[in-house]
Every structure is written in C-alpha cells, then in structure tokens.
Structure 1
Amino acid sequence: MRLADPAGRPHPTNGTAPFEASTGRRCHDAVAPLHSCVYFAPEPQDEFAAIGLERGPMAYYAGRAAPLGTVDAGTVTATFYNFDHEHVRRYIPAAWTVAAPSAVLAARLRGADLTLRRLLGDDALASKEMAEAAELALRATEACRREARPLYAANADLPVPDDPHLALWHAATLLREHRGDGHLAALAVAGLSGIEALVLHNATGRAPTSELFMRTRGWSARQWAAARNRLRERGLLDGSGDLTGSGAALRAEAEALTDRLDSAPYDHLGPAATARLTELAGGFTAALRAAGAFPAVHFGKG
C-alpha cells in the first residue's frame, strides 16, 4: 500500500532548500521527551489531585485536553485517536465539573516546572544552553500550521511561559502535538484503527508494553487480541505477533508521510539550527533518561 504525498507542502520560509525529512524526525525525537516526561512523573499527578482531579486517566485526559476547552468525550477520542471511547467517557466531561480547563492548565504548568526541576536540576534550568534551546524550539514553531491539527492549534493559543525551561517545555508540547496530529492523519490513510496502531507499534519492541497501552488507554485483553488477529489477517503481523515485511513497510510509509507533514518547522529552522536544537535537546533528554524519567519497565514488546 502506497501512502500519497500530501498536496500543498509548505515551502521553507528561511530561504533554504528542504532537507532530508529524517533530520526533522531526529530533532523531534530529541525534543519531544522534554514534554512527555511529565506523563511518567508524580509531580503533575500531585498538582492535578490538588485541584480535585482523580489521579490516572482523569488527570491525563483533562491535562492533555484542557487547551481545547470544555470538550466532550467524542472530541477527546477523535483527537487522541488510540483511546477506547467508553474509557474516555468515564472521565470526560466529568473532569470539567471538578476543575475548569484554566485551572487544569495552571496545574499542568506547575507540574511540568516541578518535574523538570527534579530531573534536570536548577543549574541546567538556568543555563545558557536551556535558553538557547528554548529560543530555537520556539523559532521552529513559527512555521507550524493550525489547519487540521486541533491539539497543536489549541496549545498554540496558550501564552509562552517566561522561564526558559517552561518556554522549552511549551515549545516541545507544540512540536509534539503538531507532529502527532499529522501522524494520526497518516495512520488513518494507512487504514489503522487506534488500537491497531498501538498493537503494530508494540510489535516493534521499541514502544510501551501492551499492559501499559491497555491500562492507560482503556482497552481490554479481548480487544487487544482481536486487533492483533485483524493485523494478522492483513498480513501485517505473523503468527507470533511479530511484524511481517508488509507490516514494517506500512509503518515505514506512515512515518515517511508523517515526516513530510511535519517538515515545515525544521525547514523553517534550517539545517544548522535544527542540528543545534537536536544537540541541545538531546543533551537534556539524555539527562532525563539518566535520572529515570522513563522507567524501563514500561517499555518493550509484550
């Protein structure tokens, strides 16, 4: 199955030619953990609990959906893509009766601040490298597009925090959701449902475990097994649940389309600045990993 190249790819805005799409992916992979570390940290959960939200799924759904406003479960299911709708309905819109989105956003930022302070330390947060990384990441977001990217667009309307580490966290959020919105379009083109995308991702062995996927996204073991069987019928998984050649090719094409949909920020930044942001963010991300921000028990096939 060939995935179509999207029409209307934005041209670079800094006068340089577009460069290899994987360059942007490498930069994104270095920057994104600066946002996603909060999902494994206790501090955001504590801040959400302090305003009345239940720890776990309610806090996650509300924290990530708050930029969208007081949306219903359908909007969350649509924009998050790989969560069971009935699971979402247990917590949304009930979360908004506990805490308004504005209060949730304030708690989210406090949680990010405390998480980064613990994992990176005050010296790193006050460093010139942190300020430089924030400036570069924010510059990259200047070329992000709102069209058909609801989670990016909602976050893009939020103010940029003053502190460099929180400005970087904000920019990492924008870049992550911008790529994520495009990736969901690529998954839809590939004909993968939300749970099927998770099962295929898990089969690589480089993703969260099936247990974590099911627990955090509300899928049952029966639903997981049924999705795996559908992927086998399509020839994307073999009898052992491993990726087939066709499955690997489909994932590669979905990633390539995602790269093209997400090229604008890095084309705008240019090769040298993109490489510098990758270097800086990669250093901070390595420090996050060394500090245990992403527990190994949550990752791996199975």
Structure 2
Amino acid sequence: MTDDRAGRRCNNVLNPLHSAVYFSPEFTGEMKAVGLEKEPGSVFTAGGYFAARSAAMGPVGPGTVTATFYNFNHELIARHIPVAWTVASPERVLAARLRAADGMLRRMLGEEAVASKDMAEAAELAVTAARAAGRPGRPLYAAEADQPIAEEPHLAFWQAATMLREHRGDGHIALLTHAGLDGLEALVSHTASGRGFTPRAARSIRGWSRAEWSAAEDRLRERGLMDAAGELTDAGDVLRKELEYETDRLGSAPYAALGAAATERLTELAGAFAMSALTTGAFPDGLFGKG
C-alpha cells in the first residue's frame, strides 16, 4: 500500500465508533454500576473514562495516565486515578466498558446491522489490521492488544477499532513530543485547526482553565505558530499538517498488512456504520468545531 493517507481515512471512520462509547448513556450507566459516577454538569464520566482507557495497562498511577493520554491536565487525572482502582478493579472496568460498547452499538446501529454479514466482514478486516500493528513504543495499543478478542463480531470490531485508534494515537504523541508541543499546546493548536473540540469543550473535558489555555496560546505565539486572533499562522498550519502526515507514516503498518483493497473495503463498511452512529446522536451537540 503506497498511500499512507488511506490509513488516516480508515481511522477517521473507525475512531468515532470507538470514542462514542465514552459519551454514551450505556457507558455512564455501566460505570455507575461499578461505582464510578458522572460528575454533575460533565458531558462524560471522567473517572470512568480515565479508568476505562487505562485499565488494560492494569491499576496504573496518575503519572502513567497523564503520559499516555498526553493532553489532559494531570491534576484532573489525579483526582480520579488511582482512587478508581479502590472502587473497581481494571478487570471489572474493562468488562463494564465492553458491555457499554455492546449496548451502544445495538442502540445506534440496530440489531440487524449488528448481526449483519457486513459487520462480520468489517470485524474480520479490522481485527486483521489491528493484529498487524507492532507493540514497541505503543503503550496504549500494546495493552489493548493483550486483551482477548470477543467472539461476537460487533464487539470484536469495536475492540479492533479501539486498538487501531490507540496505535495511531501512540505514534502521534511521539511526534508531538518531538515537535516540542506539550499536551496543552498540542490541544490548543489542534483546536485552532478546527478539526477537534471547540475551545470550551476542550477546556472542560481536558481539565484546563482559561488562564492555562491563554498561557499556552502565548507560548504558541512566541514560536510563531499562532496569531493574535488565536488562529494558526502559516507556520502553525504547516506544522499541524506535517504532524498528521508523519502520524500517517508511523501508523501505516496495520493497513499495509491489510492491503489497499481490503483497507478501502474496511473504510467503506466502517464509514456506513459511523454515519449511522452520527445520525443517531453519537456525540453531544456543540462538541466539535471552532465554536
């Protein structure tokens, strides 16, 4: 496969199906059942999110979660980790997360789609790609890859989407570090590109104050990456694009192993599922865009 961007296109339709679970009522309910409740006014269950995404690594401390999640405020993480492990073991959290994914996919896609031949085909392709990714230097991917794959195709598909998302993310973090962007600067610059959360949503979900956000903008201005209006400069835009292209390159192995035709087919199948999910309200309104 010569076009590394084919992997990005596939990831762009797989990732929403992975990440939607953390905003779903099913996830909120499952986390509450294990003792990790949603905080008033929050769009998602922060303690459950930190626990669920890190649980495959075991009962890790807040430092490990901050290092691997990268753009969350460490103080926010430390409010929930390691307290979460005194409430529910990583094994219980992982089981609850999978139950949440099951309920979410059945609700958003419908029972017919969940049991369809297309889902079985998508699961086989996604698992093949996910298993072809390498573990070295990919802590979140490697931890997810060590988990047993469910027999039900829709759950196997969701687990593979999770592995592929974490594989790409692990590589992206390495590149952000190489570019000298700390977690907040990475978040601010990505938000300014219009491709991520709105600034308000990003601050709320990631745990940053307006003052901390403004300070990061100032640091980006000092490097010539952001202008006075909070928009990316030409240099900032070039850097963000280079980061994405290099992330494509570092994340190409799963899709190269799958092959061009199979990658295109997985993108087609996952794209149809993602469209169904998005039209049924997979994410809260006003979460993405420049805002």
Which band: TM-score by shorter chain? over 0.9
Q: Find runs of 4+ consecutive structure 1 residues off by over 6 angstroms.
A: none
Q: Note if 1:43 corresponds to 2:32.
A: no
Unaligned ranges ≥5, structure 1: 1-17
| Greater RCO, CA 8 A, separation 6+ | 1
Range with bigger deviation, 209-218 or 273-282: 209-218
Cα shift at 1:65: 0.8
TM-score by length of 2: 0.96
Cα shift at 1:204: 1.4
Residue equivalent to 2:228: 239
Q: Note if 1:289 corresponds to 2:278.
A: yes
Which residue identity is paired with 2:70? Y
Find the aligned partners of 1:81 and 1:181 in 2 and give their Cα distance: 10
Structure 2 counterpart SS, 1:195: helix
Unaligned ranges ≥5, structure 2: 39-44
Find the aligned partners of 2:61 and 2:165 in 1 and give their Cα distance: 23
Find the aligned partners of 1:213 and 1:256 in 2 and give their Cα distance: 23
Find the aligned partners of 1:21 and 1:234 in 2 and give their Cα distance: 29
Which residue identity is paired with 1:285? A
Cα shift at 1:42: 1.1
Matches within 5 A, 1:49-60: 49-55=32-38, 56-60=45-49
Question: Which one of 127, 130, 133 corresponds to residue 122 of structure 2?
Answer: 133
Residue equivalent to 1:33: 16
Cα shift at 1:154: 0.4
Residue equivalent to 2:63: 74
Find the aligned partners of 1:134 and 1:178 in 2 and give their Cα distance: 17
Matches within 5 A, 1:108-119: 108-119=97-108
Cα shift at 1:213: 1.2
Deviation string, structure 1 residues 148-188 (Cα, Å, up to 9, x no partner):
10000000010101111100000000000000000101111
Cα shift at 1:294: 2.3
Find the aligned partners of 1:245 and 1:155 in 2 and give their Cα distance: 37
CA contact (8 A) 2:201 2:287 kept: yes
CA RMSD of aligned residues (A): 0.9
Structure 2 counterpart SS, 1:293: coil
Residue equivalent to 1:277: 266
Which residue identity is paired with 2:3? E
Which residue identity is paired with 1:79? T
Find the aligned partners of 2:274 and 2:57 in 1 and give their Cα distance: 28
Identity %: 59
Which residue identity is paired with 2:22? Y
Find the aligned partners of 1:267 and 1:206 in 2 and give their Cα distance: 26
CA contact (8 A) 2:34 2:88 kept: yes
Deviation string, structure 1 residues 80-112 (Cα, Å, up to 9, x no partner):
001111111111000000000000001000111
CA contact (8 A) 2:72 2:184 kept: yes
Q: Note if 1:176 corresponds to 2:165.
A: yes
Find the aligned partners of 2:120 and 2:71 in 1 and give their Cα distance: 34
TM-score by length of 1: 0.93
Matches within 5 A, 1:1-302: 18-55=1-38, 56-302=45-291
Find the aligned partners of 1:292 and 1:91 in 2 and give their Cα distance: 27
Deviation string, structure 1 residues 33-88 (Cα, Å, up to 9, x no partner):
11111122111111010111122211110111110101000000001001111111
Cα shift at 1:30: 1.5
Q: How many residues get paired?
A: 285
CA contact (8 A) 2:71 2:184 kept: yes
CA contact (8 A) 2:140 2:167 kept: yes
Which residue identity is paired with 1:45? T
Deviation string, structure 1 residues 221-280 (Cα, Å, up to 9, x no partner):
110010011111111111111111100100011111111110100100001000100100
Find the aligned partners of 2:290 and 2:17 in 1 and give their Cα distance: 24
Structure 2 counterpart SS, 1:188: helix
